[in-house]
A and B are shown apart, each in its own frame.
Chain A
Amino acid sequence: MTSGHAAVLLGLFSLLPLSARADTPTVAAASDLQFALTEAAEVFGEGTGRQLRLNFGSSGNFRRQISQGAPFELYLSADEAYVHALHEEGRTQDTGVVYAIGRLAWLQRDEQDDLPGEEDPLAAVREAIKDHTAGEGRPRIALANPDHAPYGVAAMQALTHAGLWEAVEPLRILGENVSQAAQFALSADARGGLVAYSLALAPPLVERAEHVLIPESWHTPLVQRMVLVDGAGETARAFYDWLQGEEARALLARYGFRLPDDEDDAP
């Protein structure tokens, strides 16, 4: 390599954003954390001056990518089974900690005036089925794909619990992850959908949608576990610790997550 080449390389290197060179860990997070974790990272950044790069997507995808050596330092899964699987493969530092328990909610556009009540949160689904059987259109019901998305499984269990799973089949539209399911739920062709409560409470959705919480006993708990991936740096560890602190817990609670040891904290 001549000095000319070196100069060019050096020049290119200086074009990289500063953050790419410092200890700026990449975080892989379940899509139900889209808004909560973005805010958490901002608060964390303000307090510590440390930056994070956040990636949101399907927990299963991230689990596969990490197992193939993707350079994520912290993994926040919506399904704790993925964390245990990665631990067994020897990809993580330990078995991690449960950081939140996700809740399921019925979500619909806010110009529809008949929001179901808390006592019968799936009333809109039943109405949609009735309308469709009567030949009055095809109001869609959105959920995440239960084949692989944790919130999709929970939605399926809730619909089964209400005895609606079979009947809702012609109306079902499946999002690739729970974020897409929420987006589908708000489309003009849909009656609504079953999505993460944390998304329903996020500012952009609160503006144009209404929601009602689904009782937790209607589905298997959505236990969300996070873990430091092997080779995680100082910033990732600091964020991991910070997420277990009071400030982060309050933030997660504000986004509708139930916290792991609520019972212990009770007076």
Chain B
Amino acid sequence: MDWTALSVSLQLAASTCLLLVPFGLWLGRTLANARFRGKAFCEALVALPLVMPPTVLGFYLMQSFGAEAPVGTFWQWAFGEGLNFTFSGILLASLVANLPFAVQPIQRAFETIPANLREAAWCSGLSPWQTFLRIELPLVWPGLISALALTFAHTLGEFGVILMVGGSIDGETRTLAIAIYDRVQAFDEQGAAIMSAMLLLVSFLTIGVVYGLAGRRKWRHA
């Protein structure tokens, strides 16, 4: 069992959730409420990582991460390290790959809130911020939980993109999914079997716990 790889995977999934879900909350709410020309193309842009093969995404990321490409150059200047073959690199890749998983459930949830509900809250003297925290957030809670669970689980399972930009570095970019592939390649079926079972268990438990949380919350509000 490659514990280092499991730890890399968990760190990657947790960091992705921590950074992406708050952003998803903002973008999902904005997209749900906004009416503007070209909105469909904005939504298509968000959905793109969902329909593109990971190899396409990996290829573009690899190109833009290079020490001579804009993103890579900026990162080098700001943090003193490149993006290809680093944890920051696979984290950034994972943020892009998971965008639809974080934004779409939240956007759908916000879309179900009728506009007059918010207006009623304002008339009752709640500030927009209070309205968001006490009216909207409880209503979109299930969507938020879905976003969290999907992002976490999808990051744990991410393979193609990380294979292309990671470089399989022990303790840095070798995630559990990559380690399993390496074990299979090395004819170590037993190692692959143990790690696969571990990944299955962790994913199942995470989603179970998260859905459980969502259910209890709904029940309390009923």
Task: Give me the interface of A with B, judged by CB distance under 8 Å.
Answer: 58, 60-61, 64, 138, 140, 142, 145, 147-149, 172-176, 184, 187-189
State A190–B207 Cα separation when bound (angstroms): 39
Q: Which of B18-26, B66-74, B109-117, B196-204 contacts its partner? A: B66-74
Binary per-residue interface labels of chain B (109-147) against chain A in the complex, 1 for a CB within 8 Å, 0 otherwise: 000000000000000000000000000000000000000
B78 interface residue per 8 A CB criterion: no
**Contact present for A138 and B81 (CB under 8 Å):** yes
Q: Assuming A140-B85, A174-B168, A187-B84, is B72 touching A60 (CB within 8 A)?
A: no
**Contact present for B85 and A173 (CB under 8 Å):** yes
B28 interface residue per 8 A CB criterion: no
**Contact present for A58 and B185 (CB under 8 Å):** yes
Q: Which residues of A contact B106 (CB under 8 A)?
A: none
B194 interface residue per 8 A CB criterion: no
**Contact present for B67 and A188 (CB under 8 Å):** yes
State A140–B69 Cα separation when bound (angstroms): 17
Q: Which residues of A contact B67 (CB under 8 A)?
A: 187-189
B186 interface residue per 8 A CB criterion: yes
Q: Which residue on chain B has the smallest CB distance to residue A60?
A: B185
Among B62, B163, B168, B186, contact of A173 (Cβ-Cβ < 8 Å): B168
Q: Which residues of A contact B69 (CB under 8 A)?
A: 188
Q: Which residue on chain A has the smallest CB distance to residue B81?
A: A138
State A176–B177 Cα separation when bound (angstroms): 13
**Contact present for A176 and B163 (CB under 8 Å):** yes
State A175–B62 Cα separation when bound (angstroms): 14
**Contact present for A176 and B186 (CB under 8 Å):** no
CB distance from A79 to the nearest CB of B (A): 12
Q: Which residues of A contact B169 (CB under 8 A)?
A: 172-174
- Extra A-B contacts (4), CB below 8 Å, given A64-B187, A176-B168: A142-B167, A176-B185, A184-B167, A187-B67
Range, interface on chain B: 20 to 34
State A138–B181 Cα separation when bound (angstroms): 26
State A197–B185 Cα separation when bound (angstroms): 23
With most chain A CB atoms within 10 A of its CB, the pick from B62, B82, B169, B185 is B185
State A187–B168 Cα separation when bound (angstroms): 15
State A184–B66 Cα separation when bound (angstroms): 11
Sample (9) of A-B pairs whose CB atoms are under 8 Å apart: A140-B167, A142-B167, A147-B185, A175-B168, A176-B163, A184-B167, A187-B84, A189-B72, A189-B82
**Contact present for A145 and B168 (CB under 8 Å):** yes
Task: Give me the interface of B with A, judged by CB distance under 8 Å.
Answer: 62, 66-69, 72, 81-82, 84-85, 163, 167-169, 181-183, 185-187
**Contact present for B185 and A145 (CB under 8 Å):** yes
**Contact present for A61 and B185 (CB under 8 Å):** yes
**Contact present for A147 and B186 (CB under 8 Å):** yes
**Contact present for A60 and B187 (CB under 8 Å):** yes
**Contact present for B66 and A188 (CB under 8 Å):** yes
CB distance from B117 to the nearest CB of A (A): 51
State A172–B187 Cα separation when bound (angstroms): 22
State A142–B166 Cα separation when bound (angstroms): 12
CB distance from A98 to the nearest CB of B (A): 22
**Contact present for A60 and B82 (CB under 8 Å):** no
State A64–B192 Cα separation when bound (angstroms): 15
State A147–B62 Cα separation when bound (angstroms): 24
Among A64, A145, A189, contact of B182 (Cβ-Cβ < 8 Å): A145
**Contact present for A189 and B186 (CB under 8 Å):** no
Q: Which residues of A contact B85 (CB under 8 A)?
A: 140, 173, 184, 189
Q: Assuming A145-B185, A147-B185, is B167 touching A173 (CB within 8 A)?
A: yes
State A191–B20 Cα separation when bound (angstroms): 33
**Contact present for B182 and A147 (CB under 8 Å):** yes
**Contact present for A187 and B185 (CB under 8 Å):** no
Q: Which residues of A contact B167 (CB under 8 A)?
A: 140, 142, 173-175, 184
Of all A-B residue pairs in the complex, the 3 with the closest CB atoms, nearest first, are A173-B167, A188-B67, A148-B185
**Contact present for B182 and A188 (CB under 8 Å):** no
CB distance from B67 to the nearest CB of A (A): 4
**Contact present for B84 and A60 (CB under 8 Å):** no
Q: Which residues of B contact A60 (CB under 8 A)?
A: 185-187
Q: Which residues of A contact B62 (CB under 8 A)?
A: 187
Q: Which residues of B contact A147 (CB under 8 A)?
A: 182-183, 185-186
CB distance from B99 to the nearest CB of A (A): 25
State A147–B183 Cα separation when bound (angstroms): 8
CB distance from A248 to the nearest CB of B (A): 29
